[in-house]
Amino acid sequence: SHNKSIEHYFSTIGEKADEIGLSKEKIKKDFLQKLFYQLGRVPAVTTSNDLYTALALTVRDRVLRQFVRSTEEFSKKNSRGIAYFSAEYLPGPHLGNNLLNLEIVDETREALKELDLELDEIIEQEVEPGLGNGGLGRLASCYMDSLATLGIPAIGYGIRYEFGIFKQEIKEGWQSEATDKWLHYGNPWEVIRPEVSYVVKFGGRTIHSTNENNKYAVEWEPESEVVGTAYDTPVLGYQSNGIIMRLWKAEATESFDFSVYNMGDYYKAVEKKVRSENITKVLYPNDENLSGKELRLRQQYFFVSCSLQDMIRLNFVQGRKLEEFHEKFAIQLNDTHPSIAVAELMRLLVDEHEMEWKQAWKITRNTFAYTNHTLLPEALEKWSVSLMGRLLPRHLEIIYEINSRFLHELREKGLSGEQIARMSLIDEHGEPSVRMAHLATVGSFRVNGVSQLHSRLLKTQVLNDFAEIWPDKFTNVTNGVAHRRFLAVSNPGLSRLITEKIGNGWLTDLTTLKRLEKFADDEIFQKQWMEVKLENKKLLSQLLEERAGVKIDPTMLFDVQVKRIHEYKRQHLMLLHILDLYLKIKDGKGENIAPSAFIFAGKAAPGYFMAKLIIRLVTAVADLVNNDKDVNKILKVAFLPNFSVKQAQRVYPAADLSEQISMAGKEASGTGNMKFALNGALTIGTLDGANVEIREEVGEENFFLFGQTTEEVQETRRLGYRPSKYYEEQEDLERVLDFLVSGELGNGDHELFRPLYNNLLQQDPYQLLKDFKSYCERKHEIHQIWKDQKEWTRRSILNVSRVGKFSSDRSILEYCQNIWNVEPVKLRD
């Protein structure tokens, strides 16, 4: 059926597949032309990057064609457009995904084969844009995929970081960071729009006056200005639509350069240029932690201001009045990183477009919706009032004005002084600061969390005061994942098997996977299912041998935890358990242990000592286990360096067991949990984030639950948690913890892991010791079930057939219905 729909679509406007380049012949011809005319190469003399670039350019033409068509359609419909504001995106490699969406994978493979080239090798060349830290950035890109597929007029605004998330290398067991030069080989996917650019001001002072019409007016006299230029990357949806991700790059303004230049100070002019361009130089590598750095606030304001100016321009281009802005657009704030937008839109409307405050506020509050992605106190953004006043003096005034009107409202409602202080946009404790989550909540028409549990905790705890006065403002949208990328593109074996059984309807409606359920007990199907998994595990084994130097028998149980390294995610709980198994085997008590490969990957924020020490512990445990002849037939441990979307696509298809073991109440949703389940891994997990809903969907008998609930965690803390109690009471635990400081790990250095040991025994803020026992028990049970491969496979099939809910298509439809009030625009019949 491939090509049908696109062919059909274009045939309605009188074009044939060959003309629009979907045939093998045309792809081959264009590829050779790109190679020759764009790169000056003939097939006999090329580098692998030439081949990649030529193919990418060939595909890009087709992508752009789709995009232009959709833009025309969208503008005819003139429905409300969605602007997704996100400081991070993690699109992953474009090529394979675009081929799938254009439905030209086979044609392209054939075309290349005729030239003696391998499509998969070329795809492998791509360097992905690492413009995000982890889940939040990847979610933004999953949503772009679904917005495009569902035909929703949308644009993703963000920052074109010159250096994305650092490249992680492991040196002597430690993480080391190298700069990510993702643009080094060029970027064939973006289109530069030099004429789409805006001036952004910083610093200086405000001048308040009454103008000639006797109107109160404020002028912002900045200290400096930079220009933001748009770089567009088309994001294709499955079969038809395309939307853009518009990323801003900072450049020096001409006027500023010239004025200094004319004064004869050439170096000063250049210095200014360098300083301006610094803004979009590098992504802050902190995940769920504040940097509090001025440059970060500059980045946030810079991209938000460019984006809002761009939207206001679009609003006028489309012949609309500014008063209708909120009818034309909804803006989704991806966490508080872009929340300065609330003040910026007010500034643009009131100061630059001379709108009355009240009307501007009505528009603003009907434009923004805010998604919260964490409850961790250390991740709730705050900016010191003094920094904000220095960098964005007018915005600080606006925030004070919003706040004074808001607090006035609260007083009228009769709230207590204490409650009002808690709700204020300004935190007066210690150094005064602006609470960005409060600004986002007050300035939005809707606030959502990212899983049922998280949204409930948001309402009852972190933003409880707000939920009480505005109960209808709060809602939930459980996260989802781009299943086309994370199943169709990255797991072709399983996709083929599924499609053979139930057809390919799952590509556009993941819930149709439930048709697989009736084959869960089918022995032939089980066997095919196991074969696919085994093939995927062989591929991952090869990768692990290359990248981690660890040889793994692909028949082992692949027990995997891949995600950012964070204490709350408890990678170290998994490590304590591995050490427990190690010691048992050494004692000759390993008879019940299923041969297991423990696979880790993930980056630690460069300044987060404990997280880096956890990585060091993974490599130390790997050294110990992999080199011990008594153990290494039963256990292997590997750390796959530099986890990325590209790596992720090779990991999920090969996993048997998915580790989702955060302390309950801490993981807002998790999305890796969904990707694993979709690829047939079973989950061991706590009742945290979306695990709760995954378990609900797959059935409790198909989910390995352990650990305390959120309520129990909180009760434990309330009662005065003393972790050493568990150390004293549980011999196994005592032995494992003491082993950390025995000198047997980390080349005989007793002190290496002392900080971790002390942390666990003295504070254990994430209650690992309390959950250790139930975790080990569950693991034991898992190992017994693993031995029954049929039973395991049956559960694996059931898991896949029941996770249809977790497509990002479903999430986006919920945003449309419950938040944005827009209907998907269907381009085809």
Query: 378 or 731, CB closer to ligand GPU?
Result: 378
Taking alpha carbons only, the member of 177, 67, 171, 170 closest to residue 130 is 177
- Verify binding: residue 689, ligand GPU, rule CB under 6 A: yes
Closest CB to ligand GPU among residues 596, 811: 811
If binding is defined by CB under 6 A, does position 136 make contact with ligand GPU? yes
Tell whether residue 374 is a contact of ligand GPU (CB under 6 A). yes
Count Cβ atoms within 10 A of the Cβ of residue 171 and give its class: 0-12 exposed, 13-18 middle, 19 or more buried: exposed
Beta bridge pairs of residue 236: 242
Give the separation between CA 601 and CA 134, rounded to whole angstroms. Answer: 12
Is residue 151 a contact residue for ligand GPU (CB under 6 A)?
A: no
Residue from 98, 108, 276, 479 that binds ligand GPU (CB under 6 A)?
479
Q: Answer whether 630's CB lies under 8 Å from 611's CB.
A: no
Helices (DSSP H) in 509-608: which residue ranges?
523-548, 571-586
The CB-of-804 to ligand GPU minimum distance in angstroms stands at: 19
Nearer to ligand GPU by Cβ, of 87 and 152: the residue is: 87
| E strand segments, 445-496 | 446-449, 474-476
CB of 133 to ligand GPU, least distance (A): 6
Q: Which residue type does 314 have?
A: L
For residues 600 and 280, what is the distance between their CA atoms, to the nearest angstrom?
31
Q: Does 150 bind ligand GPU (CB under 6 A)?
A: no
Shortest Å distance, C-beta 573 to ligand GPU: 17
Task: Check residue 145 for interaction with ligand GPU (CB under 6 A).
Answer: no
State the minimum distance, in angstroms, from the CB of residue 806 to ligand GPU: 11
Min dist CB 83 to ligand GPU, Å, is 18
Count of CA atoms in the C-beta half-sphere (13 A) of 187: 19
Contact 482, 460 (CB under 8 A): no
CB of 82 to ligand GPU, least distance (A): 17
Task: Return the residue of 63, 82, 105, 139 that touches ligand GPU, per CB under 6 A.
Answer: 139
Q: How far is the CB of 479 from ligand GPU (least distance, A)?
A: 5
In whole angstroms, the minimum distance from the beta carbon of 333 to ligand GPU comes to 12
The only residue of 126, 251, 310, 667 in contact with ligand GPU, by rule CB under 6 A: 667
Beta pairing partners, 121: none
Measured from the CB atom, the residue of 107 and 697 that comes closer to ligand GPU is 697
Report H helices in 187-293. Answer: 254-262, 266-277
* C-beta separation of 652 from 645 below 8 A: no
Task: Please identify, among the stretches 516-524, 554-562, 622-630, 667-675, the one whose residues bind ligand GPU according to the rule CB under 6 A.
Answer: 667-675
Nearer to ligand GPU, 393 or 670 (CB): 670
Structure tokens at 721: 């948690």
Cβ proximity to ligand GPU: between 256 and 486 the closer is 486
For the CA atoms of the chain, what is the radius of gyration?
27
Phi, then psi, of 363 in degrees rounded to 5: -65, -45
Task: Please report whether residue 585 would count as binding ligand GPU according to CB under 6 A.
Answer: no
Q: Residues 5-24 vs ligand GPU: string with x where CB under 6 A?
A: --------------------
Stretch that binds ligand GPU, among 71-79, 133-141, 148-156, 257-265 (CB under 6 A): 133-141
Q: C-beta of 382: minimal distance to ligand GPU in Å?
A: 13
Q: Which of 450, 573, 617, 737 binds ligand GPU (CB under 6 A)?
A: 450
Only segment of 4-12, 553-561, 668-676, 772-780 that touches ligand GPU (CB under 6 A): 668-676
- By beta-carbon proximity to ligand GPU, the closer residue of 593 and 684 is 684
Q: Does 671 bind ligand GPU (CB under 6 A)?
A: yes
Buried b (16+ CB within 10 A) or exposed e, 527-549: ebbbebbeebbeebbebbeebbe
Of 670, 685, 707, 723, the one binding ligand GPU by CB under 6 A: 670
Instruction: Examine residue 135 and tell whether it contacts ligand GPU (CB under 6 A).
Output: yes
Is there binding between residue 373 and ligand GPU (CB under 6 A)?
Answer: yes
Check binding of 335 to ligand GPU (CB under 6 A): yes
Residue nearer to ligand GPU on the CB measure, 125 or 133? 133
Which residue in 93, 96, 130, 134 binds ligand GPU (CB under 6 A)?
Answer: 134
Q: Which is nearer to ligand GPU, 285 or 443 (CB)?
A: 285
Q: Closer CB to ligand GPU, residue 597 or residue 651? A: 651
Q: Which of residues 600-629 bind ligand GPU (CB under 6 A)?
A: none
Q: Considering the complex, state which of residue 90 and residue 426 has its C-beta at the smaller distance from ligand GPU.
A: 90
Helix, strand or coil, per DSSP, at residue 289: coil
DSSP characters for 2-47? TTHHHHHHHHTTT--TTTTT-SHHHHHHHHHHIIIIIT---TTS--
560 contacts: CB under 8 Å, gap ≥ 6 = 598, 599, 600, 651, 654, 655, 656, 657, 658, 659, 676, 681
Which member of 199, 322, 379, 822 binds ligand GPU (CB under 6 A)? 379
Q: Which residue is nearest to ligand GPU (CB)?
A: 135
Residues binding ligand GPU: number (CB under 6 A): 19
Tokens standing for residue 804: 């249809």
Sign of the alpha-carbon dihedral angle for 107, 113, 117, 123: positive
* Catalytic sites, residue numbers: 373, 563-564, 569, 671, 675
Q: Which two tokens stand for residue 544?
A: 């692990």
Q: Which residues contact 395 (CB under 8 A, 6 or more apart)?
A: 301, 340, 343, 344, 347, 388
Region from 190-198, 428-436, 662-670, 701-709 binding ligand GPU, contact rule CB under 6 A: 662-670
Contact 447, 335 (CB under 8 A): no
Q: Determine the longest span between alpha carbons in the chain, in angstroms.
A: 91
Query: How many Å apart are CA 825 and CA 807, to the nearest integer?
Result: 19
The token pair at 414 is 């009769």
How many beta carbons lie within 10 A of that of residue 413, not counting itself? Answer: 10
The minimum distance between CB 174 and ligand GPU, in angstroms, equals: 23
Q: Which residues bind ligand GPU (CB under 6 A)?
A: 133-136, 139, 287-288, 335, 373-374, 379, 450, 479, 667-671, 689
